[in-house]
Structure 1
Amino acid sequence: MKISIVSITTALLLLASSPADAWRIRLYENTNYGGRQVTYSGPGNTGSKCFSNIDPLNNKVSSIQYYAYNSDRTTRCCLTLYDSPGCKTKNADWTPQKSCHDEKWTKIPATWNNDISSFKTTCHAV
């Protein structure tokens, strides 16, 4: 049985490829996941990262789907939502403003509806 250079190269590339995304957030313009949408995702490296501007949906988000884990559930990323660019927040009465688990919000509460401008992920091994 011959092993070709292409087979070896393919196998090495698969082994060296980066891991699957550890988290993913999809922001929707309308309730019940309607209208325009924007998706962000990341590898879940340990630490935090601020996504300081969510254009084109800045101050227009009305529903969210958030997936906190990587595919083998060894990394979890917490999500914090902010009402202004640069991950600066207001005092909120919405408890799920911070989530460390998979979440789906079909309708953002009135105090946060159309008021989300940035978000931060904080990732760690499970």
Structure 2
Amino acid sequence: MAAEVTVAAPFLIILLVFVAVVIHRGVDARLRLDDAAHQAARAASIERTSARAIAAAQATASSALASAGVACASLNVATSTGGLWPGGTVSVTVSCVVDFGDALILGVPGEKRLSATAVEPVDTWRSGPVNTPGGGA
């Protein structure tokens, strides 16, 4: 019995370490995606037009994920700029397909779609509103 435990123990430890690494990668990717969504929403809320807000959100999300080391197989940034006026809100949803291909030994799916949404207020006191609820300036 002691010989069997001595032989099996290293393999069980390696398996546990491997599972911990896979779980850590998933949690880390989720946290970094949440941060990228927050940064993208903030960048969009600073812009004056919907087109510039959408472009800023896309660029910021891509940059934030790249600098965090998250490689997305496909990245989608959906920006809702319906509230892009002083006192309104801007919402950004970042969806990323994360590759777990090197963890296939454990039966983990090869890739998983993660998404995060962040809502940021538009500064109430900013000057020169472009979009207002009544259509006026």
Structure with bigger RCO (C-alpha 8 Å, 6+ apart) = 1
Q: Which has the higher helix share?
A: 2
TM-score in same-fold range (> 0.5) = no
Structure with the largest fraction of strand: 1
**Larger-gyration structure (1/2):** 2
Give TM-score scaled by structure 1 length: 0.29
TM-score, length of structure 2 as denominator length: 0.27
